Chains A and B, each alone.
Chain A
Amino acid sequence: MTFIVVTAAAPADTRRLTRTALSLLRSPGVSQWMIVGASRAALPAAVRNVLRLRGITCTTDHDPSAAADVVRNDDAWVCFLAAGDRLAANAVQRITACAAGNRADGPRAVDVIYGDTRHLVRHADRLPTFQRRPGWSPERLRHHDYIGAMIAVRAGHLRTVGDVAELARCDSHDRNLRLTERAARVARIAHVLHETHERSLAPTASRDAVVNHLARIGIDADLTRDVTRAVNVTGNDAADDSCPAVTVRRRITTRPLVSVLVPTRGSKATIFGASRTLVVEAVRSVLTTSTYRNVEFVVVADSDTPTAVRDELRTIGGDRLRIVDFDRPFNFAEKINLAAAHAAGDMFLLLNDDTEVISPDFLETLVALLSDTGVGLVGPTLLFEDGTIQSAGHVFSPEPTDLYRGAPADSRGAHDMLRVTRETSSIIAACALTSREVFESVGGLSVQFPGNWNDIDYCLKVWQSGRRVLVTPLARMYHFESKTRVPVLVESEVATLGHRWGHVLDDDPFFNPHLQRYVNVWKTDSTSPRSYSEALGPTAPIASK
């Protein structure tokens, strides 16, 4: 397989080009190196000779036939590499093996590949850090460039995207969006493919790149630049397009009827120092706080639900609320399915009764995301009563775990993951919006999971159906779950979940096998003395999810 490296450089950037050239020498399999923006003379003669002796053809964009040569062979792979960065020693083998393996996997050949980055540090008393990247997350890429400066693309696909020299020169966020938006398949390799001396590996974003990307793929959205992180923001905001993230808030085009499915037994609890009937306040908060009006409620009430609670629900819900009796042993999944059977909406909001709306436009945000045909389920960030995070998506570690549980609500997460809408393996069904079509096609919630993990099973069925599961920080809800509750693992439930999804639990596509398991806060699997707070903060040596 032909492997071509393309590097954009300043005209006289000898030092950086030499560093990149030397890394190519230790990467068997590179057949051509194309320099964009500089001439071959920028390289020392000795380096040029060694490259020639090793069989690496060095071309530049000044040579008119060079760009055409790069994309002539459909099966060749082109790797964009910034000047000064290095290709990891076995990157070419890993990329070609991945490309060949994916081709054998199915009819849709992989078009784009990215991987992890090692951050080389100059000071001997500091250990190198890593950017461990999650699996392919198109929604996250719209918010910031989590893929980074190195990306490999099949030449046949590259030819359909644009000119190789122009792509090499443009901002990495722009390049990554353009290369991936029409790709048949994008693959992540969970190994270091790329090494860099850049001071910070925190993702950045280009607002212009996102604006153009959304116009190309037809997403109507409002964009704001998230500049709350101080690092990496240079100059004043108006002059510099680069920022830590772009917040993409999709505009809602239609307002379909949303059926809010609420299982309950009419329990009371003390919330914010006052006693309340949970289901009444949950319904009331959707009716009064939410600005989305086209809703109906289907409350599935256990037979022992007090009459006073039923009356109060009918009073506040009026003809928009229906109460369905449930007189069987507790089974959350069965109650939700029964509610769906009585619902008339095009979309179903699965809602626990111990919740309360925080963001008035939470339903608009969720409906707008779910309107994308590639999305099957979307959920908000859930907070505890004290304002800390209850769930921002799950990670299979391998036990399903709420990510950043108990962290402050304004936490950015490793590499800003909590600041952006992103793909995740599963979300909690305490508040989640799905479409009727998806719900019915995957068989609703599985009654094999009466209490635990019916939501995880549902999410994995959604992924299996080819649709994505998203969690967004743009919508927030309270979930008044006990903070000290420790979920009890029932062996039979573990076995049932694992019987279906053991392969996913053991290898979460949005986790990284190099990160330590069994920890709520992700830690890189190294011996460096990183503190807990550092692991939580934006300078964390990891990036995933």
Chain B
Amino acid sequence: MNPPPPTNDDAAIAAYLARLAAADAAAGERATATRHDVLRRRGEVPGPYAFPPDRSEIRRIDWVHRGWLRPLRFIFRHMPGSLRRLVKKAAT
């Protein structure tokens, strides 16, 4: 596309912008084709895009505070340190 169009030449500037738009459209089409290809390989149907919902809070594992675990947790936390370490070692 070089050299740059002369300043104040409206026709040259319009042509330059049109060339940019055409190159952008071509890049966009290539990107969309790649996306469709990726989706097809995953077995999904290409459709309108939206950000997936934030599930980070939903996935939190909070089994430590369940009621049935409380007495066990109480016993564990009052064990001597050496015993606790043994239990942890066995658990991991």
Contact = CB atoms under 8 A, between A and B. Distances in A.
B89 to A, nearest CB: 4
B43 interface: no
Contacts of A503: 34-35, 38-39
Contact of A343 (B4, B39, B50): B4
B89 A124 contact: yes
A344 interface: yes
B24 A444 contact: yes
A249 interface: no
Given A442-B27, A503-B39, A517 B50 contact: no
B66 to A, nearest CB: 14
A545 interface: no
A532 interface: no
A338 B50 CA distance: 31
A125 B79 CA distance: 14
B51 interface: yes
A500 interface: yes
B77 interface: no
A440 interface: yes
A501 B92 CA distance: 41
A441 B7 CA distance: 21
Contact of A440 (B19, B31, B52): B19
B31 A501 contact: yes
Contacts of A499: 32, 35, 48-49
A344 B35 CA distance: 36
Interface string B48-61: 11111010100001
B49 A443 contact: no
Contacts of A436: 2, 4
A499 B52 CA distance: 14
A415 interface: no
B46 to A, nearest CB: 9
Contacts of A440: 1-2, 19-20, 23
Given A501-B35, A516-B56, A443 B25 contact: yes
A508 to B, nearest CB: 13
B88 A500 contact: no
A220 B77 CA distance: 60
B50 to A, nearest CB: 6
A481 interface: no
A161 interface: no
Contacts of B25: 443
Contacts of A500: 28, 31-32, 35
Contact of B52 (A127, A398, A448, A464): A398
Assign chain A's interface to a size class: 35 or more
Contacts of A465: 27
Contacts of A124: 85-86, 88-89, 91-92
Given A337-B17, A517-B56, A446 B24 contact: yes
Contact of B13 (A127, A338, A495, A516): A338
Interface string A425-449: 0000000000010001111101110
A502 B49 contact: yes
A399 interface: yes
B51 A494 contact: yes
A499 B28 CA distance: 9
A154 interface: no
A470 B44 CA distance: 32
Contacts of A495: 48-50
A127 B86 CA distance: 15
Contacts of A442: 23-24, 27
Contact of A447 (B21, B32, B38, B52): B21
A498 interface: yes
Interface in A178-195: none
Contacts of B39: 502-503
A342 B61 contact: no
Contacts of B34: 464, 503
Contacts of B89: 124
B30 interface: yes
Interface of A: 123-125, 127, 322, 337-338, 340-344, 398-399, 436, 440-444, 446-448, 460-461, 464-465, 489, 491, 494-495, 497-503, 505-506, 516-519, 527
Top 7 A-B residue pairs of the complex, sorted by shortest distance between their CB atoms: A498-B49, A443-B24, A443-B23, A124-B89, A124-B88, A500-B31, A503-B38
Given A343-B4, A441-B23, A444-B24, 17 more contacts: A124-B86, A125-B84, A125-B85, A338-B13, A342-B4, A399-B51, A442-B23, A443-B20, A443-B22, A446-B28, A461-B27, A461-B31, A498-B49, A500-B32, A501-B35, A502-B39, A505-B49
16 contacts: A124-B89, A125-B84, A322-B7, A341-B13, A341-B16, A342-B13, A398-B52, A440-B1, A440-B19, A441-B23, A443-B22, A443-B23, A443-B27, A494-B51, A502-B35, A517-B56
